[in-house]
Structure 1
Amino acid sequence: MTAAPLKVLVIDDEPPIRKLLRMGLSTQGYQVLEASNGKSALEMLGEHPDLIILDLGLPDIDGHQLLANLRSRAEAVPIVVLSSRGDEAGKVRALDLGADDYITKPFGMEELLARMRAALRHQLQVQGERPVFRVGELSVDLVRRIVKLGDQDVKLSPKEYDLLRILVQHAGKVLTHKFLLNELWDDLTDAQYLRVYVRQLRQKVEIDPERPQYILTETGVGYRLRAPD
């Protein structure tokens, strides 16, 4: 029996963008649902989409307000923001409101598809809570708290391990500086503390810390751990 195609809800008020996404996603086996405004997008949640692609510049509802509304109604559904707004403050706000990723227009279809796959893998990981995470040469046993790079054990400080654990639990998702600071220190707001620990962690888990393969920087926004291939 063939599995039902994954449903992707595209929310964008530009017909050419919707057409481009409909054609690109359909050829990859996705079932595409479309909404041209916030009101119809909320109604389309009744179709139970597996992933949402959201443009923030809609005619009837503020994009960030709609994002918060979608996240409250569909807590487990990955949301990828696809927007012409490239300002860092807007990106950070969208990610803090629950977006799984943020891509600016113009965009490449291959990159969008890769980000979608990462968001869907993260959703499955959260639901399954796999005890051992593996990507490339890096493995993290969340039960026994064992970290390996290839066959070599990696010794981490408690704070370094906490940072890695949070990244693993959200692998494939962009985590903002604010989110990570709140998770790790509660009362700290200076992202420099976070940068220091990310640099230390990269020295231990990256094959080449100057060209990281696993802990990726989203400039001005935060960090993302590469999802398993």
Structure 2
Amino acid sequence: MKILLLEDNKKLNETITKRLKLKGYNVLSFIDGKEAFEKITEGFSCFILDINVPNIDGIKILKKIREFYSSLPVIIISASVELDVIKEAYDFGCNDFLKKPFFIDELEIKIEKLCKIQNEKIYFDENSYFDFKSALIVINDVEIRLTKKEKLLINLFLTKKNQVISYESIENYVWEGNFASLESIRSLVRRLRKIFNNEYIQTIVDTGYIFKCS
């Protein structure tokens, strides 16, 4: 899982980054709000934002994130205890708020709760599943290796099972902020469809796709 961390206290930033990487997360950390702001569309699964940071504050970044992603988890960390600040963070769509100082374990618990898919294996049916740990699709005991973009797309589908996913969301997540033509997206979806025996991926005309899975 790819996490964006924005924390301008260098020591705290380094401590959080180190702990999360030890847990196996892919962490991109920033101390400057403007730098983080420019990277928010690059395929992150979770955001951890301090509010009072240089150039662009965490609340403005939160608002921008919600323009692209309506439901990706955002955890706000801040030394502020002002109710107006906390309320503003929730009003703009943060999922949880952690007041400094805090134990890193507290942050890890929130990430586990909000951001991480708990099951390492997600079954499509009794004979096929996706293994998040190895990033393999297994169908009738046959292991199928995926390209990077195929892995990102199946990850997106499985975190948003039975929900409509727009072309724009796929472009932002799978192409990590780079441009992708509609034909490129369709071509990637066709490749995944060939892997499955059943029609899990359904097209929503002029909108995107939905991954139908129990």
After TM superposition, the score normalised by the length of structure 2 is 0.53
Tell me how far 1:124 sits from its aligned partner.
Answer: 9.5
Structure 1 residues 37, 73: CA separation in 2 closer, same or farther (over 3 Å shift)? farther
Q: Distance in 2 between matches of 1:124 and 1:90?
A: 34
The answer to whether the Cα contact below 8 Å between 1:71 and 1:98 also exists between their aligned partners in 2 is yes
Tell me how far 1:66 sits from its aligned partner.
Answer: 2.1
Q: Distance in 2 between matches of 1:80 and 1:107?
A: 13
Which of the pair is proportionally richer in helix? 1
Residue aligning to 1:31: 26
Residue aligning to 1:92: 87
Tell me how far 1:57 sits from its aligned partner.
Answer: 0.4
Q: 2:160 aligns with which of 105, 127, 150?
A: 127
Q: Distance in 1 between matches of 2:78 and 2:27?
A: 18
Classify the secondary structure of the residue corresponding to 1:47: coil
Residue aligning to 1:213: none
Tell me how far 1:51 sits from its aligned partner.
Answer: 0.5
Q: Distance in 2 between matches of 1:124 and 1:16?
A: 36
Tell me how far 1:91 sits from its aligned partner.
Answer: 1.1
Structure 1 residues 126, 7: CA separation in 2 closer, same or farther (over 3 Å shift)? closer
Structure 1 residues 96, 31: CA separation in 2 closer, same or farther (over 3 Å shift)? same
Correspondence 1:33-182 to 2 at 5 A:
33-120=28-115, 127-128=160-161
Q: Distance in 2 between matches of 1:70 and 1:25?
A: 21
- Structure 1 gaps of 5+ residues are 1-5, 131-229
Residue aligning to 1:208: none
Structure 1 residues 167-206: Cα deviation after superposition (integer angstroms, max 9, x where no partner): xxxxxxxxxxxxxxxxxxxxxxxxxxxxxxxxxxxxxxxx
Tell me how far 1:89 sits from its aligned partner.
Answer: 2.0
Tell me how far 1:21 sits from its aligned partner.
Answer: 0.7
Structure 1 residues 46, 121: CA separation in 2 closer, same or farther (over 3 Å shift)? closer
Classify the secondary structure of the residue corresponding to 2:39: helix
The answer to whether the Cα contact below 8 Å between 2:32 and 2:54 also exists between their aligned partners in 1 is yes
Among all aligned residue pairs of Structure 1 and Structure 2, give the percentage whose two residues are the same amino acid: 26
Q: Distance in 1 between matches of 2:33 and 2:101?
A: 22
Structure 1 residues 34-89: Cα deviation after superposition (integer angstroms, max 9, x where no partner): 12222211222243111110000011123322211122123332100011112222
The answer to whether the Cα contact below 8 Å between 2:37 and 2:56 also exists between their aligned partners in 1 is no
- Structure 2 gaps of 5+ residues are 118-155, 164-214
Residue aligning to 2:144: none
After TM superposition, the score normalised by the length of structure 1 is 0.49
Q: 1:22 aligns with which of 17, 27, 41?
A: 17
